[in-house]
């Protein structure tokens, strides 16, 4: 039943966790490469990010630039409340670790501070940045070969 489906999905996801080439199976025709792309569209088997603030849990959706050769160090983060789907948005410069968006709300900045305070959060974002920059370098040749 439902529990079996959940366990099978979790198994499939866990099995692909560290597959650096999983992105090659993405349907790139459905992805807007002019915009920043959610990490889970690039690597769908990776675990979701989350943070808690003021007793509420938020899912963290991270968006990345896939433009080859782009020197940007930004990541766009959407903090989506788990209990009501409200969200906050902030762009962070990973070189400085600081918000790179003057119009980010106070709530978004507090959520970033809470997320950044998690012991492994910043290292995970750095690892995701490295993975997406590799994809950005390899993607044009991959698309040409299809």
Work out the average pLDDT over 77-99.
95
pLDDT of residue 7: 64
- Between these two residues, 64 and 1, which has the higher pLDDT value? 64
Band of pLDDT at residue 85, cut at 50, 70 and 90: confident
Look over the chain and give the mean of its residue pLDDT values, rounded to a whole number.
89
Beta strands in the chain (DSSP E): 37-38, 49-53, 56-64, 74-81, 87-93, 98-99
- 3-state SS assignment for residue 5: helix
Domain boundaries, the chain: 2-144
The total number of residues shown for the chain amounts to 146
pTM of the predicted model as reported, rounded to 2 decimal places: 0.85
Residue-wise pLDDT tens digits, 113-134: 999 999 999 999 999 999 999 9
């Amino acid at each position: 039943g439902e529990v079996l489906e959940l366990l099978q999905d979790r198994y499939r996801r866990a099995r692909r966790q560290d597959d650096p080439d999983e992105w090659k199976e993405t349907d790139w025709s459905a992805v807007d490469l002019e915009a920043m792309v959610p990490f889970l569209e690039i690597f769908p088997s990776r675990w979701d990010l989350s943070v808690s603030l003021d007793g509420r849990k938020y899912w963290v959706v991270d968006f990345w630039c896939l433009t080859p050769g782009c020197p940007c160090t930004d990541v766009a983060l959407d903090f989506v409340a788990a209990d009501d789907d409200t969200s906050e948005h902030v762009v962070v410069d990973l070189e400085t670790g600081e918000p790179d968006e003057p119009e980010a709300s106070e709530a978004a900045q507090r959520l970033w501070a809470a997320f950044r305070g998690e012991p492994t959060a910043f290292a995970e974002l750095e690892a995701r940045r490295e993975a997406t920059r590799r994809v950005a370098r390899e993607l044009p040749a991959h698309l040409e070969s299809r």
